[in-house]
Structure formats: C-alpha cells, structure tokens
Amino acid sequence: MSQDFIQTLLLTGKLATWTTAVLLVVGFPVAYLLAYKRFFLKPLVEALISMPLVLPPTVLGFYMLVAYSPQNAFGAFIQHVFNVRLAFSFEGVLLASIIFSLPFMIQPLQNGLTSISISLREASYTLGKSKFQTFFHVLVPNMVPSIITAIAMTFAHCIGEFGVVIMVGGNMLGETRVASIAIYDEVQSLNYETANQYSFVLFIVSILILTLIYSINGKKKLF
Amino acid sequence: MLKIDIQHAMLTSEGKCNLEVCTEIEDRELMCLFGHSGAGKTTLLRILAGLTKADKGRIVFNDVVWFDSSRKINIPPQLRNVGFMFQDYALFPNMSVERNIRFAQKGKDQHHVEMLLELYELQALRNQKPSQLSGGQKQRVALARALAARPNVLMLDEPLSALDFEMRLALQKEIRKAHDLLHTTTLMVSHDVNEVISLASSVVFIKNGKVISEGKPVEVFDKCLSGVVRKRNQA
C-alpha cells in the first residue's frame, strides 16, 4: 500500500471524526431547542438544517466557496482574525462538511429527544433537578440509540462526501484529497487497481456502520 | 397553608373552559381534587406544581409566593419542593429502583433510601429497572421517590387509576402511609368516590373548571346526592 493511499484514508478519517465531534457538540443544543421550544422562525431554521438533504452538494459548495473568498466579508473576517485561508484548505473543507452534515446529526437527536415522555422531564424538575442535570441524567441515557445513530450517520455521510469537498477543497494530496475524490481521480487516470482499493475500504466501512445502526435500532429498548 | 386563587383557560374535549379555583388547604391535610375527566383536576395540580403556568391569580404556600400574575412571580417547579406522582409514574427507565429513589434526594442520605425501600417492601427489587416491575410495584417506587426529596406538598395525579380493584385497595394504604410519614399536605386527584371517602380528610369537587362544593368527603357527596334527588323529585 502506498504512502499516498494511507495518507488519503487518514485524511478522510480525520475529516469525518472532526465533523462528527464538532456536530455532536453543536447539534445537541440545536436539537434541544428544536425539540422543546417554540419560536417564530422555527420552521425556517428546520428547513435550513434540512437543506443539505435536497440541495445538490455543488450548490452548497459553490456558495461556500464564494463566502470563503477574502474579497467577501466572511472570508476576509476569518483571514484577518484567525489568519486562515478557508478556500482549498482542510479547515474550509471541514466547515463545509459540518454544514453539509447538519441534518444527519440533528434530526436523529431531535427525534430522540421528542420520543422521551414529557413526564420524565417534568418528574426530574419536580425533584429539584435543573435542566442541565435533567439533560445529562435523564435525557441522554434514555436516547442512547438515537445518539449512536446520529454519530454513525454523520460519520458515514462524511466519509462518502464528494461534491462539497471537491468544490471547496479541490484535490490536494494531504490537505483536501479524501477517499471519494481519490477514487474519481484514479479512475480518470485509469488506475483501476487503486480506485478499487479505495472503493473497497469505503464499502466495508459503510456496511459496518450501517450494520451497527440497524443492530442498535433492532433492540432499541435498552432498559 | 396553601392558598390558591387562580384562573386558567383550558381546552377540553367539550371545548373551551375556564378553570377558576379559590380555596385554602390546611397543613397536614389529605385533600382530594374530585371530578369527572376534563373537569380541570390535573391542570390544577400541574399549576400548583409549577408545570403549567396559570393565566391569572396567586398561589401562596406558608407565606412564600409561588405564583402571582400581577407581580410576575412564577417560582419554577425545582424550587417549590413538591413530590409529584404522575399518572404514568414517570420512573426513569435508565435507573434501577434504588437509583430512582436516590436521584430524588437533595443530599446523599443512604439511611433514608433504605428506610423507604423497607417501608414500601422494595428491598428485593432495588436493582431492577422500571420495565421489569408490575403496575403496583411501579406505584410503590413512584411514591417512595416522591417522598425521598422530603417535599412540602405531596401531589398525586390519579395514582390508582391504572390498577385493578384489589391492587387499588392495597395501595390506598400505601398512600395513607406516605401521608402519615411525611406529616405534610397531600393533594390527590381522583374520580372515584370510594377512594375519596376512604382516604381524604377533605375534598374539592370540580365541575367544568369550577369548584361546586368543598368540605368533608361525606358531607360533600351527601349534598351532591341530595341535590340530584331534589332535581329528580321536582321533575
């Protein structure tokens, strides 16, 4: 196995891990708000989060690329404050990947939270527990299957992401070249053997993740 | 003493209805909120616990204002120190019987947990999860958990409605035990006349959101019965 092959797979894993970790931290508060609060712009927020499910990845990638440009406010702000160039960099791909994977994390978490009986939350409140304590001691332990589904779906989706990454990051070895782009690149160069190796790894990882999700959902009743 | 004077618009199966309750509950009283389904009993209990915000009014417990719409005061349920037993018991599925009780405590007091486990004959079930318990066992755990926090007011929302007749009789004793142990005010929602007579020291009869009678159970039901007989004779 070549050095490039391993580097590309490691980068793919790094992108998926970072995306999943950031989304887990960001996703819980957002899912909590959507599950339990009513506010004026809620349908719009829900629609925006679900957009990546219906929007072609190239559309999002194009707009992200425009936003990343130092000639636009957002790109200039990031470059000025953090000294980071988002276009055609790992950081840029990561940000695009986070936005593109939002529904895969938030929707299972939101469904998990809404499926917990309201009386459990209320019982915890009447026992003097704060919303924070209720969240960690009552809500999280009773939605473990939803959390695993959210993590697995986000990770699996990131590993297979192609359109957004190529639009925002291009095809730079060790920086933005993930496995799905490498497959395309190898096929274009008629290196079918290497393309097959990448494809096989992605196939195995995806089937393992999906089998995990279905086996958890099959015995959803944990307690 | 718990002083209640509230108004709240409710949506029942028979349309919109205004809940209007003005009453006082003495300390250490076991009071039943009696009435048909949709009368507003559970809504009133939820308003008292702080789980539902009343539209207007005032609730004061021993000089502490829990709710006052004119002064925009609404103490959250966490600070009212009530023991609330839900119709579905709301036991935490991820916790064992013992952990459900321990979770309710404000500080660690294993001695009190052991006492509650013994009182409600739950020692053998201490490591079981709620899904492994029968209806009666769940009810006993829910009662023990409500008592674990040493609440100011014990609130029971139709605690016996999901049980069969024999179990109801047995568990009425458990509720009496809980009330006596706490030496506190207990409020219980019920629509069963026998249950009210055998358990309560006073009853508030609510119909379509309004209090139509209150006092000692026998007197209240006697008055209602005389009213019905009088109406029938007039007809």
Among A117, A129, A223, whose Cβ lies nearest the Cβ of B88? A117
| Confidence (pLDDT) at B227 | 66
| Confidence (pLDDT) at B219 | 84
For residue B9, the cross-strand partners are B18
Contact criterion met (CB < 8 Å) for B92 and A124:
yes
Task: Give the best residue of A126, A129, A137, A219 to mutate against chain B (max B CB count within 10 A).
Answer: A126
Predicted structure pTM score: 0.86
Taking the CA of residue B95 and the nearest CA in chain A, the distance in Å comes to: 9
Taking the C-alpha atoms of residue B197 and residue B172, their distance in angstroms, rounded to an integer, is 11
Tens-place pLDDT, residues A158-188: 998 898 999 988 888 888 899 999 999 999 9
Residue where the block lists tokens 């009453």 = B23
Contact criterion met (CB < 8 Å) for A126 and B92:
no
**Residue A136, pLDDT above cutoff 90:** yes
Query: Any chain A CB within 8 A of the CB of B132?
Result: no
Chain B residues inside the 8 Å CB shell of A129: 78, 103
Residue B234 vs residue B73, higher pLDDT: B73
Q: What string of H, E and C letters represents the secondary structure of chain B?
A: CEEEEEEEEEEECCEEEEEEEEEEECCCCEEEEECCCCCCHHHHHHHHHCCCCCCEEEEEECCEEEEECCCCEECCHHHCCEEEECCCCCCCCCCCHHHHHHHHCCCCCHHHHHHHHHHCCCHHHCCCCHHHCCHHHHHHHHHHHHHHCCCCEEEEECCCCCCCHHHHHHHHHHHHHHHHHHCCEEEEEECCHHHHHHHCCEEEEEECCEEEEEECHHHHHHHHHHHHHHHHHHC
Q: How confident is the model at residue B233 (pLDDT cuts 50, 70, 90)?
A: low
B residues 41-80 closer than 8 Å to A (CB) = 49-51, 76-80
Tens-place pLDDT, residues B30-57: 999 998 888 889 999 999 999 999 999 9
Query: Any chain B CB within 8 A of the CB of A115?
Result: no
Among B49, B88, B103, whose Cβ lies nearest the Cβ of A126? B49
With a CB cutoff of 8 Å and minimum separation 6, the contacts of A136 are none
Please give the average per-residue pLDDT across A124-135, as a whole number. Answer: 95
CB-based contact B90:A119 (threshold 8 Å)? yes
Taking the C-alpha atoms of residue A112 and residue A194, their distance in angstroms, rounded to an integer, is 40
Query: Any chain B CB within 8 A of the CB of A220?
Result: no
Among B78, B103, B130, whose Cβ lies nearest the Cβ of A137? B103
Taking the CA of residue B118 and the nearest CA in chain A, the distance in Å comes to: 21
C-beta neighbour count of A80 within 10 angstroms? 10
| Confidence (pLDDT) at B160 | 79
Nearest residue on chain A to B52, alpha-carbon basis? A122
Taking the CA of residue B132 and the nearest CA in chain A, the distance in Å comes to: 9
Which residue in B151, B7, B154 sits closest to B68, CA to CA? B7
Q: How confident is the model at residue B107 (pLDDT cuts 50, 70, 90)?
A: confident
Q: Tell me the residue length of chain A.
A: 223
Query: Any chain B CB within 8 A of the CB of A40?
Result: no
Which residue in B87, B97, B60, B90 sits closest to B75, CA to CA? B60
Taking the CA of residue A129 and the nearest CA in chain B, the distance in Å comes to: 6
Taking the C-alpha atoms of residue A78 and residue A76, their distance in angstroms, rounded to an integer, is 6
With a CB cutoff of 8 Å and minimum separation 6, the contacts of A70 are A76, A79, A85
Query: Any chain A CB within 8 A of the CB of B104?
Result: yes
Please give the average per-residue pLDDT across B194-216, as a whole number. Answer: 88
